[in-house]
């Protein structure tokens, strides 16, 4: 593959990011959830019980969006809210055990991991280290740009219809 920076930017910025979003939408659909709802379950699995503010910080979603996603997860039986013992004004969101989502590991993510491992086998360790460094840098850029967009949106006030 050519290393033309514009082509690489298009591949990563459009094709790869779209493929990732569509993959997570497909995974969520298996659970009756959107990709965003499924990814919030993933965040809860990694963080453990969390406040809505913590979830907003880790996802980049607004507190209002988090409330809506958590409402849907609670209604679907994937999460629960509990009073926050340290702050009566907030709640703790906890991921509940769910056999359907627990099956995703062996059914979805083990084959994905194997496919990635098979694909990665064509690269030397030094190449994989460079790829990992590059992807970590891109992830950092995405986080920074997400924060920039959120700050700009907050400064501009509520969105208006065109």
CATH number of 46's domain: 1.10.10.10
Higher-confidence residue of 12 and 148: namely: 148
Confidence bin at 94 (pLDDT 50/70/90): very high
Domain-located, residue 65 = yes
Range of the domain at 30: 19-97
Length of the chain measured in residues: 162
Per the structure, the count of domains in the chain is 1
Residue 21 has pLDDT above 70, yes or no: yes
Highest-confidence segment of 19-28, 92-101, 119-128: 119-128
The DSSP code for 97 is P
Domain-located, residue 8 = no
Residue 162 has pLDDT above 70, yes or no: no
Residues 6+ apart with CB under 8 A from 84: 51, 90, 91, 92
Domain-located, residue 83 = yes
Domain-located, residue 30 = yes
Q: Which of 26, 22, 28, 36 is nearest to 70 (CA)?
A: 36
Domain-located, residue 151 = no
Confidence bin at 125 (pLDDT 50/70/90): very high
Q: Are 47 and 92 in contact (CB under 8 A)?
A: no
Domain-located, residue 1 = no
pLDDT at residue number 17: 86
Confidence bin at 10 (pLDDT 50/70/90): confident
Residue 161 has pLDDT above 50, yes or no: no
């Amino acid at each position: 593959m050519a290393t033309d920076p514009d082509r690489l930017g298009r591949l990563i910025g459009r094709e790869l990011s779209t493929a990732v979003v569509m993959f997570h939408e497909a995974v969520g659909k298996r659970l009756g959830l959107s990709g965003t709802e499924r990814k919030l379950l993933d965040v809860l699995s990694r963080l453990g019980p969390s406040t809505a503010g913590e979830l907003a910080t880790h996802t980049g979603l607004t507190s209002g969006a988090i409330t809506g996603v958590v409402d849907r997860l609670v209604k679907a039986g994937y999460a629960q809210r509990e009073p926050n013992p340290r702050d009566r004004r907030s709640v703790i969101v906890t991921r509940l055990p769910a056999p359907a989502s627990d099956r995703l590991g062996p059914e979805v993510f083990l084959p994905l991991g194997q496919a990635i491992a098979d694909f990665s086998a064509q690269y030397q360790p030094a190449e994989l280290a460079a790829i990992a460094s590059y992807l970590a840098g891109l992830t950092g850029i995405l986080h920074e740009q997400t924060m920039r967009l959120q700050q700009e949106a907050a400064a501009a006030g509520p969105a208006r219809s065109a």
